Structure 1
Amino acid sequence: MIESLESHPPQPRPIRWWVRACFGLTSPVGQRLYFYTGVGLMAVKYIVEAGFIRLMTGRTLTLLDFVNPLLSSRMQLLQGAPDWAGWALILWSLPFLWIAASMSIRRSADAGLSPWPGMLVLLPIINLPVMLLLAALPHREVERPYGETLGADDVSAAGSALWGIAGGVATGAVAFAMSVLLLESYGAVLFLSTPFFVGAVSAYAYNRPASRDAGSTLAVVMLSVLLSASALLLFALEGFICLLMAMPLAALMAPLGGLIGKAIADQCRGRRSHAMYAVAALPLLAALEFFVVHPHVREVQTSVEIDASPQIVWQNVIAFPDLPEPTEWYFRAGVAAPIGAHIEGHGVGAVRHCRFTTGDFVEPITVWDEPRRLAFDVTEQPEPMFELTPYHEIHPPHLHGTMRSLRGEFRLIELPGGRTRLEGSTWYLLAMWPQEYWIPFSDGIVHRIHQRVLEHVRDVSERSNGPPSRH
């Protein structure tokens, strides 16, 4: 395939034509345009992301890291970078996602297929093989080429809107049932691909009988998303806080899918072009993602300086009196807050119990180096938060194992003047994707838990040591 492309190199085109070909939805996309544009944009994306990661952390993004979604390595490479770095990569990727989807549906149609198989490039794991397949398929003449807008049926806008909303909600329900209820998996298929397909299906069904304006189409799309989220809340499947955290992803992906779904409906009206070709892949990809994508261990470190000796600080590290009621909004909204700690035994093998508002962490001691280092494993842990819900109490699957602490450590470093630098580290796993989006939330939660504990240890230690010298 590549040899045939090289024998007929593309002729130079105006930049404006190329931009319309990449971002538009009507002009045909042939084999050569798809191949060369895809290779060029992947090179640009790799160079920019490799440079960004090198600038933020000094680490190298290899080509294998870049093309292999099973490694989930970008966030591992970004460890230690500012919290906004992951979100910056998400925003940077959005134009490339749009170009991939818009060009792939037109390439699929150019190859004589329905446009819907082109949507498979939005599904993790199989996206690169799908792009390679589309680049290999030759042009095929069809009776009504993509880009030719066909006539409309006489169907009311209200009826079309109901069908659009029903189709979008049904798509989201099937994907949620497979990912969450069956697999207890919170992956990129759920948070990125599903809202995109919800938008595409709802817009397609709304515009299938007759072309509607973009504004009303996007209204139907967002109503489908909001009703899907409301149903999860109503049927006690999810809580308000987690839905609120996921909504920015849905608000970005669903309208993009809606624009593509509308374009497919407008330009394929009167032909067989079933959305189910691509939508059926959602549950299959959710299952595949569950079995092959695994999280990396992350470390979060926080420190404070204390006007007390390491010997005094040590006693308040292994066990400390109860903390006051939390006043921070995130703890009051339901995030688990530490409220006290006690220890059973002495030395390695002792068991530390750190009490949270949701239950106890059980922490067998693995290193007892008084008064310098205390390390422990985490063998039991409570739910990471209480969900805000209209009901008394719910326990959605994401509260069990998606964020799991593995071990922790306190380090006491003696400073001049009888002072101590206290460092706390937690190593944990986060089984939610895309991790570029979720890790700033999870790292931030762990960091604020650290702060609450370390600042309490500081205050108790300084009170027992007398008036702090810095005052």
Structure 2
Amino acid sequence: MEQLPEENIPPVNHQPRKWLAIGVTTVISWLLTAVMFYKFTDYGIALFIFLPLFIGFGTTVLYGYGSKKPTSFGSFLKLGLLALLIYATGLLALGMEGLICILMSAPIGIALSLTGSLFGYWMITKLPGKAPTIMVILIGSIPLISFIERNSPPELNAVVTSIEINADPQTVWKNVVEFPQLNEPTELLFKTGIAYPINAKIEGSGVGAIRHCNFTTGSFVEPITVWDAPRLLKFDVLEQPAPMKELTFWNVDAPHLHDYFVSKCGQFKLTALPNGHTLLEGTTWYYHNIRPAIYWRLWSNYIIHEIHGRVLRHIKMNAESL
């Protein structure tokens, strides 16, 4: 049989294999996510590290495995990112997650998906026979790691924010114990659904009084544990509202909105300065059950600082206007 010249050989259509790789990987990822969300109620290393690694690795292996002439490494990177985008869009469409949490997890997800693609490309070019085995092991390890890590104890963190106020401590103290309605926020952060304080009320005075710091999603109920006027007000947190209202097509009530960010206690410390001003420090002690903690702590510390700043600036404005 006469062989066609190479330039007359029709190009191979890789589209079906590409979409098969994306489809299989994303469906498996959605199923694994549902198990972690609703069976283990875990938001940890399995979800935020191993799953995006699997998305990059899985699409690369399924698309490139058995190909006599693998496409460029850049094509595999793009394929992994496309699978990650479809996976995240599916979470939003299925009502499993909201837009803000997806955006917050995007940096780590993108980095690890690219890492998974790199690992997958190395496997199919250097050790192609072992690539399917590694993929099966990775799939099985995700729910196993989620099951193991869900009982690991969280670490208590402290966030301190301060402001100098042109008023004496006694005047500042009156505005710390309770304060009137705050103005609508101008910060972009608080327009995304993140809860923010609107006012504070107190029932009684001294140790045992109950302070209510009201947020857009509900109230922090704060029994006073230290009342050292006008120097230190310290309180526990007995009840707290959801940390945010998700932006989504549906009414998402994701598990992470309940008991995954926990404020334990807080305080306001007032220090008289030589110039007659007052240094006001607000501190929140909290923990969260979302891992990797080193990554999510960056977000939670930033958000708490912004919440502190909103309250402290309001106290400053009220105290200096007296």
Say whether the fold is shared (TM-score over 0.5): yes
- On the 8 A contact 2:227/2:233 being kept in 1, the answer is yes
In structure 1, the residue corresponding to 2:150 is in which secondary structure?
A: helix
State how far apart, in whole Å, the 2-side matches of 1:195 and 1:368 are: 48
State the identity as a percent.
41
Does the residue aligned with 1:366 lie in a helix, a strand or coil? strand
Equivalent residues in 2 for 1:67-146, closer than 5 Å:
none
2:257 is aligned, of 399, 411, 414, to 399
> Is the contact made by 2:124 and 2:131 (CA closer than 8 Å) also made in structure 1?
no
Q: Which residue of 2 aligns with 1:423?
A: 281
Per-residue CA distance 1:384-443 (angstroms, 9 max, x = gap): 11111123x322111111211000001111122432111111000022212221111100
Report the TM-score, using the length of structure 1 for normalisation.
0.63
Deviations 1:228-279 (A, max 9, x none): 0000000111111110111111111112211222332344557894321332
Q: Which amino acid aligns with 2:24?
A: G
Q: In the superposition, relative to structure 1, how do residues 166 and 309 fare at CA in structure 2: closer, same or farther (>3 Å)?
A: same
User: SS at 1:280's partner residue?
Assistant: helix
Any conservation in 2 of the 1:403–1:430 contact (CA below 8 Å)? yes
Give me the whole-angstrom Cα distance separating, in 2, the residues matched to 1:203 and 1:417.
65
1:156 is displaced (CA, Å) by: 4.2
Separation in structure 2 between the aligned mates of residue 189 and residue 403 of structure 1, nearest angstrom: 19
- TM-score normalised to the size of structure 2? 0.91
The whole-number CA distance in structure 1 between the counterparts of 2:117 and 2:131 is: 19
Map Cα deviations across residues 178-228 of structure 1 (whole Å, 9 max, x no partner).
322222211112111111111111110001231232232222211111110
Q: Specify the alignment match of 2:8 in structure 1.
A: none
**Which structure: greater strand fraction?**
2
Give unpaired runs (5+ residues) of structure 1. Answer: 1-153, 465-471
Distance in 2 of aligned mates of 1:281 and 1:462? 58
The residue that corresponds to 2:187 in the other structure is 328
CA-CA distance at 1:324 after TM superposition: 0.5
Within 5 Å, give how 1:305-324 maps onto structure 2: 305-324=164-183
- Count of aligned pairs: 309
Q: Is the 8 A contact 1:171 1:198 kept in 2?
A: no
2:206 is paired with a residue of what secondary structure?
coil
1:286 aligns with 2:143: no
Distance 1:419 1:259, change over 3 A: closer
Cα 1:411–1:272 shift into 2, 3 Å: closer
Q: Deviations over 1:55-88 (max 9, x none)?
A: xxxxxxxxxxxxxxxxxxxxxxxxxxxxxxxxxx
Alpha-carbon separation, structure 1, partners of 2:121 and 2:274: 68
Taking a change above 3 Å as real, the CA distance of residues 287 and 271 of structure 1, as seen in their structure-2 partners, is: closer
Q: What do residues 90-136 of structure 1 show as CA deviations (whole Å, max 9, x unaligned)?
A: xxxxxxxxxxxxxxxxxxxxxxxxxxxxxxxxxxxxxxxxxxxxxxx
Partner of 2:242: 383
When residues 374 and 272 of structure 1 are mapped into structure 2, their CA distance, relative to the original with a 3 A threshold, is: closer
What is residue 37 of structure 1 aligned with on the other side? Answer: none
Contact 1:178–1:286 (Cα < 8 Å) also in 2: no
For 1:165-314, list aligned pairs within 5 A.
165-210=22-67, 211-268=70-127, 273-274=132-133, 275-291=135-151, 293-314=152-173
Q: Does 1:439 align with 2:297?
A: yes
Aligned mates of 1:194, 1:249 — CA distance in 2: 11
SS at match of 1:418: coil
CA contact (8 A) 2:175 2:318 kept: yes
Looking at structure 2, the residues matched to 258 and 304 of structure 1 have their Cα atoms a distance apart, in angstroms, of: 47
Are the equivalent residues in 2 in contact too, given 1:174–1:283 (CA < 8 A)?
no
Shift of 1:378: 0.3
Alpha-carbon separation, structure 1, partners of 2:241 and 2:305: 18
Tell me, in whole angstroms, the C-alpha distance in 2 between the residues paired with 1:271 and 1:295: 37
Provide the rounded CA distance (Å) in 2 between the counterparts of 1:187 and 1:272: 25
- C-alpha change, 1:219 and 1:308, in structure 2 (3 Å) is same
| Structure 1 residues 278 and 440: CA distance shift in structure 2, 3 A | closer
* 1:456-471 map, 5 Å: 456-464=314-322
Using the alignment, how far apart are the partners of 1:372 and 1:278 within structure 2? 55
Please say if residues 157 and 287 of structure 2, whose CA atoms lie closer than 8 Å, have aligned partners that are also in contact. Answer: yes
* AA in 2 matched with 1:179: M
- Take 2:42 and 2:12, find their aligned partners in 1: how far apart are those partners? 39
Structure 2 unpaired stretches of 5+: 1-10
